[in-house]
């Protein structure tokens, strides 16, 4: 019932039907909760496959999951990949999900930190500077994840563990990873404020 439950869940949460099966397939292949994939797509492009964001850095991002060409090439292992290739929803979701899995692995399954790194870019987020963390973006992704996970009837909600070994973030005081991340962020902010 896992894939069927996810399909019902995502369909009830207004994911365009053209992308539901791709999101589920890539989520299962990469071990990423389809609700997280759908949330990133919703926040990044509002499910518009032709979305292009002309970054001020000169590195635009493309497609449903708003991938920069260099990142997509790294994830695909293909230096001949072109920006026009990223307008293909299947390829974009596959590469974006692979990048999301990479960020989840880097941050111990912490969805908030993975979302921040996905948005800021690995190099800028790795530098530890909170100036590159868009907290509004992270909040929007996590809010959408919550909505997708709660969509549909209780029978249709797919627990995160059925798709991935990565547990969802527990916003109570019991999730030490969340609080450790917040503490690290505060320490970085204090260090920057002193400089």
Q: Where are the domains of the chain?
A: 2-167
Q: Considering only residues 159 and 169, tell me which one the structure prediction assigns the higher pLDDT.
A: 169
Who wins on pLDDT, 125 or 180?
180
8 neighbors 148 (Cβ within 8 angstroms): no
pLDDT of the residue at 165: 45
Catalytic residue selected from 26, 44, 55, 147: 44
% pLDDT > 90, the chain = 49
CATH number belonging to the domain at 2-167, selected among 3.40.50.261, 1.10.10.60, 1.10.530.10, 3.30.465.10: 1.10.530.10
What is the C-alpha to C-alpha distance for residues 72 and 88, in angstroms, rounded to an integer? 12
* 92-106 residue pLDDT tens: 999 999 999 999 999
* Amino acid 190: pLDDT: 72
> Cα 13 from chain centroid?
17
| pLDDT at residue 146 tops 60 | yes
- Does the predicted model carry a pTM greater than 0.85? no
Answer yes or no: 111 catalytic. Answer: no
Confidence tier at 150 by pLDDT (50, 70, 90): confident
Q: Is the pLDDT of residue 161 over 70?
A: no
DSSP element (H, E) containing 62: strand 61-62
| Per-residue model confidence as pLDDT tens digits over 30-63 | 999 999 999 999 999 999 999 998 876 678 999 9
Q: Are 188 and 126 within 8 A, CB to CB?
A: no
């Amino acid at each position: 019932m896992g894939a069927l439950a996810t399909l019902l869940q995502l369909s009830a949460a207004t994911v365009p039907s053209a992308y539901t099966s791709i999101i589920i397939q890539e989520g299962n292949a990469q071990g990423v909760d389809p609700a997280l994939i759908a949330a990133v797509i919703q926040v990044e492009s509002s499910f518009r496959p032709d979305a292009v964001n002309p970054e001020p850095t000169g590195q635009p991002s493309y497609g449903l999951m708003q991938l920069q060409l260099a990142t997509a090439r790294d994830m695909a292992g293909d230096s001949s990949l072109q920006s026009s290739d990223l307008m293909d929803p299947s390829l974009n979701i596959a590469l974006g999900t692979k990048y999301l899995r990479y960020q989840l692995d880097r941050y111990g399954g912490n969805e908030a930190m993975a979302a921040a790194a996905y948005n800021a870019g690995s190099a800028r987020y790795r530098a530890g500077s909170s100036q590159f963390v868009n907290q509004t973006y992270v909040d929007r992704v996590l809010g959408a994840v919550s909505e997708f996970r709660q969509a549909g009837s209780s029978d249709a909600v797919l627990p995160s563990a059925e798709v991935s070994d990565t547990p969802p973030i527990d916003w109570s005081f019991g999730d030490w990873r969340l609080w450790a991340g917040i503490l690290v962020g505060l320490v970085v902010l204090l260090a920057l404020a002193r400089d």
